[in-house]
Amino acid sequence: MTASATEVKNRFGEFLERAQREPVTVEKSGRAVAVILAQGEYERLQALEDHYWGERAREAAKTGYVGHDEALALLTRRLEEAGE
């Protein structure tokens, strides 16, 4: 469902109810600028994102990665070598 920002402002309660069933895209000047969605759906999306980044971190730990200090030292050396 899509609605203009003005419609949402004028009928906010209705759109909050609608968002419990489906996301509501809010448009301003014909451009999508926001989405209203149910709290449960937001929490589900957050959990998916947390899972994704957790998996990426586990994969990085398996394959090896440099920490903050090592990365800073490497970048500093490279800048010095480049005469920066």
Signed CA dihedral, 11, 16, 22, 26: sign only: positive
Q: Confidence class of residue 84 from pLDDT cuts 50, 70 and 90?
A: low
Question: Same domain, yes or no, for 27 and 45?
Answer: no
Question: Same domain, yes or no, for 21 and 45?
Answer: no
Question: Same domain, yes or no, for 47 and 23?
Answer: no
Its domain, for residue 56, covers 40-81
Question: Same domain, yes or no, for 51 and 71?
Answer: yes
What distance lies between CA 49 and its chain's CA centroid?
Answer: 8
Inter-CA distances, 9 with 4, 15, 29, 44, Å: 9, 9, 14, 26
Question: Same domain, yes or no, for 45 and 60?
Answer: yes
Tell me: pLDDT of 45 over 70: yes
pTM over 0.75: no
Amino acid identity of residue 9, one-letter, is K
Number of domains in the chain: 2
Instruction: Give 40 or 61, the one with higher predicted confidence.
Output: 40
Average pLDDT over the chain reads 93
